[in-house]
Chains A and B, each alone.
Chain A
Amino acid sequence: MFAFYPIYRGYFRTSLMMMFQYRIAMLIWLLGGIIEPLMYLVIWRTVSQQQGGSVGGYSTNDFVVYFIAMMMVSHGTFTWIMWEYVYRIRMGQFSVMLLKPIHPIHSDIADNIGYKFLTLTVMGPTVLLLAWFFDASWQPTYWTLAAFVPVLILAFLMRFYWEWSLAMVAFWTLRIDAMNQAYIVITLFFSGKLAPLSLFPQFVQRAADLLPFRWMLSFPVELLLGRVTPRDLLIGIGAQLFWLLAGYLVMQLIYRAGIKRYAAFGN
């Protein structure tokens, strides 16, 4: 584990250097990550106000806090690897990664974390500003805050492994845009991004429990809102660990099959 430390330090360093080169592009990405939850926030807040101050057990303030928290969790766990992989394979850049004596996932993880740290400088003030603007009231307990840290890390890792695995479909076909789009739509419903899951019909909630997506997003968000009991917390962490392990195994399997198939395009 410690053997990786200097390598990660090296990756952080270079990825930060590169991001400074693309400040504007980065800001635009970031804007997308802010606007989407903000849009749902405004919609649900309006709906709630029109319904007399609450919908399905969520008060107007709850919606505001939910979507601000969703903005943070979503930002903290999101990856862009599914878009990058195709480019990487098509341009032969993957060959360069394969030649290095380290699994290519490490540079991606480091790159992702580097981006998150850098964008915290914008994300942090944005969250505070939105909380002030929408007059959000939030009283977390110490234990939920303490539990939130490992839950968020698990959410990040499981999302990373699963999306890295999906991205590898690019080994078989370079036309993965449709698949990516389908993935986005599915997560939109089952992760709680569009609306708190408890507002959905029973069968959607059941399905969401069985799928990995809610454990990536809505579970950490609900934890922050104080809507998770200690018992549910343990179940949730269990589900996260299960999906993390499964994602890791799937990643290894697909990776092994993928590089066998890899055609090393280009010269």
Chain B
Amino acid sequence: MEQNPVIQIDQLSKVYTVNEREAGLIAAMRSLVKRKTRDVNAVDAISFTVGEGEIVGFLGPNGAGKTTTLKMLSGLLHPTGGSASVLGYRPWERNRDYLRRMTLVMGQRNQLLWDIPVIDTFELNRAVYRIPEAQYRLAVDELTELLELAPLLQKPTRNLSLGERMKCEIAAALLHRPSVLFLDEPTIGLDVTMQRRIRRFITEYNQHTGATVLLTSHYMADVEALCKRVIVIHHGKMLYDGELTGLADRFAPFKTVEVKLQNGLDGRPLAQYGELMAQTEGRVTLRIPKDDTASVTGRLLAELDVADLTVQDPPIEDVIEHVFSQSPSPLDDPDPQQAQSG
């Protein structure tokens, strides 16, 4: 789906200068005279391109630099280095036309006014974004239907549950029909049903409007449901940019083999085949180095009474966890070939 690039960032960096102080009174007094500061590379020369209509998952552990990147792309933060262009605008110049065409949804940030009914925040956004009346009606009707907002619109924000509020937040952020969506943890803290609804909604919005979506989430289910392509960053550096399915090939050195035995386990020493992950009555899950998969499955089939055997990539969550628990520095540079897929 390589189309017109909507988001282009090149060597984008953000260095925060933080004050550093040891604990204690003496240190506090010393810091009056001489301030110790330390530079933190929140985002370290990352580059990628996102095409029109793509939904890209932006992954990384807490503090990886995802939110900082999204903040730079939505014009909240000035970068320390590098360049970025979204819809042809430099985000941090905060051109009004740019702001009218994009949106940033943060799972923990509120744009809904706390004390007044949701519909009144919508009304305010209509004025601020100068949405024509007819288009506004249409957008409200559509969002109300897709997100099932009808019973919520007349309630003050403070009376909504977290999930209800999130749905309304998303609706408020989309009334002006942005063509670029930055979604930072849009499903955080929501129950599974609500997560699923929001996911479905994002897909529908994307198909309906052709909007480009860059999304972060800690829930791999979100990513698996929405994104063919993922970008992984860690310690501000890019680790991977490519298809979600390629992530396991690239980073997981293991396969998961699940074996069901004819006559139960009978205390047979299965650990010799691989690392025992789980073991229930007659069924066992092993982790096997990727390169040994063929030989080990061969041995299992030959030496045991196997009723069923499946070989799988480890769950994407495990892969990600594995990636992040590796050395703190990036494994290697992202593969430019893979960077263009999606």
Contacts and interface: CB of A to CB of B under 8 A. Distances in A.
A180 interface: no
Contacts of B109: 92, 95-96, 266-267
A47 interface: no
Given A99-B74, A260-B78, A10 B128 contact: yes
Contacts of B78: 259-260
Contacts of A267: 67, 106-109, 184-185
Contact of B116 (A3, A17, A101): A17
A92 to B, nearest CB: 6
Residues of A in contact with B, size category: 20 to 34
B115 A264 contact: no
- Main secondary structure, interface of A, reads helix
B210 interface: no
Contact of A99 (B75, B113, B115, B130): B75
A9 interface: yes
A264 B77 CA distance: 7
A189 to B, nearest CB: 30
A18 B123 CA distance: 14
Interface string B66-87: 0100010011111000000000
B110 interface: yes
Most buried by B among A18, A22, A98, A266: A98
Contacts of A264: 71, 76-77
A102 B96 contact: yes
B75 A101 contact: no
Given A96-B110, A98-B94, A18 B128 contact: no
A96 B115 contact: no
Interface residues of B, number: 35
Contacts of A17: 115-116, 120
A11 B113 CA distance: 12
Contacts of B71: 95, 264
B111 interface: yes
Contacts of A14: 113, 116, 120-121, 123-124
Contacts of B100: 101
A7 interface: yes
A95 B76 contact: yes
B121 to A, nearest CB: 8
A263 interface: yes
Nearest to A97: B111
A7 B104 contact: no
A264 B104 CA distance: 13
Interface in A1-50: 3, 6-7, 9-11, 13-14, 17-18, 21-22
Interface of A: 3, 6-7, 9-11, 13-14, 17-18, 21-22, 92-93, 95-96, 98-102, 259-260, 262-264, 266-267
Interface of B: 16, 67, 71, 74-78, 94, 96-97, 99-100, 103-104, 106-111, 113, 115-116, 120-121, 123-124, 126-130, 184-185
30 contacts: A3-B130, A6-B130, A7-B130, A9-B127, A10-B127, A10-B128, A11-B127, A14-B116, A14-B124, A17-B116, A18-B116, A21-B115, A21-B116, A22-B115, A93-B110, A95-B76, A96-B110, A98-B76, A99-B103, A100-B99, A100-B128, A101-B97, A101-B129, A259-B78, A260-B78, A263-B16, A266-B108, A266-B109, A267-B109, A267-B185
Q: Across chains A and B, which 9 residue pairs bring their CB atoms closest together, nearest first?
A: A10-B127, A101-B99, A101-B96, A21-B115, A267-B108, A264-B76, A96-B111, A101-B100, A17-B116
